């Protein structure tokens, strides 16, 4: 299977690409993008197919922006944003010029309260985090417009479970930020003796006041990184 990933990530995950589920997943995702493109090109003559997010070139962008050798922090999300113009391949992130969605605004509020750094709400592009070693990993790497979890049972969950397992097995001294029950379940097997596992409520407006605000994950992550001789993240 020819998967376009940076060499280190590709080597770490090599076993997954030859498994039957990954071939089925690849076929499904390609068919979804193809159907959407055909409809977009000729909407009057081709059956409707919803847009797929993120753009196909950004499906594996979380790995492209975060070098495995520099990995310090893993943030686990769920689905890519399924509204137009939002998903960019990094969980919780949007491109420059896109208004940050509510969960991301709450993340910025917690950072400001935690470490005292004013956070602009104008720039929700988290490339700056990824380039410092933060893997912003959605559990599903693609989704249909307006249909949450529409690709989650097609193999992505198996793949991203394998990603978390491989990191846990091969890296130590990593900070895992698990926000909400879904992420916490996905990270249940992480070795807490060799890594720092931080758990809190999801930053969604529906739950942020139930334990996300005040969690101090960003300062705690940096304190841990510094204690292990690593450079802290500029959040």
Residue 24: active-site member? no
CA 227 – CA 59 distance, rounded (Å): 34
CA 34 – CA 63 distance, rounded (Å): 23
Q: Which two tokens stand for residue 98?
A: 């896109």
CA 113 – CA 90 distance, rounded (Å): 23
- Backbone dihedral region of 32: left (phi > 0), alpha (psi from -120 to 50 degrees) or beta? alpha
Contacts with 155 (C-beta within 8 Å, 6 or more apart), sequence order = 21, 22, 24, 25, 28
Name the catalytic one among 2, 24, 27, 79. 79
CA 119 – CA 64 distance, rounded (Å): 25
| Catalytic residue positions, numbered | 79
């Amino acid at each position: 299977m020819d998967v376009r990933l940076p060499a280190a990530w590709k080597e770490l995950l090599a076993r997954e690409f030859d498994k039957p589920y990954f071939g089925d997943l690849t076929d499904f995702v390609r068919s979804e993008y193809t159907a959407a493109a055909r409809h977009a090109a000729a909407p009057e003559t081709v059956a409707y197919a919803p847009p797929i997010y993120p753009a196909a070139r950004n499906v594996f962008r979380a790995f492209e922006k975060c070098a495995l050798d520099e990995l310090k922090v893993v943030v686990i999300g769920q689905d890519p944003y399924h509204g137009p113009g939002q998903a960019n391949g990094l969980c919780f992130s949007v491109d420059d010029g896109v208004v940050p969605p509510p969960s991301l605004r709450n993340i910025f509020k917690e950072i400001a309260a935690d470490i005292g750094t004013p956070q602009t709400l104008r720039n929700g592009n988290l490339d700056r985090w990824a380039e410092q070693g933060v893997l912003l990993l959605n559990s599903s790497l693609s989704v249909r417009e307006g249909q949450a979890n529409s690709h989650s049972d097609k193999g992505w969950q198996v793949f991203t479970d394998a990603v978390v397992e491989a990191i846990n097995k091969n890296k130590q001294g990593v900070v895992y930020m698990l926000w909400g029950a879904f992420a916490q379940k996905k990270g249940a097997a992480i070795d807490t003796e060799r890594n720092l596992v931080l758990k809190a409520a999801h930053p969604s407006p529906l739950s942020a006041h139930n334990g996300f605000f005040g969690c101090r994950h960003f300062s705690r992550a940096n304190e841990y990184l510094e204690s292990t001789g690593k450079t802290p993240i500029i959040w």
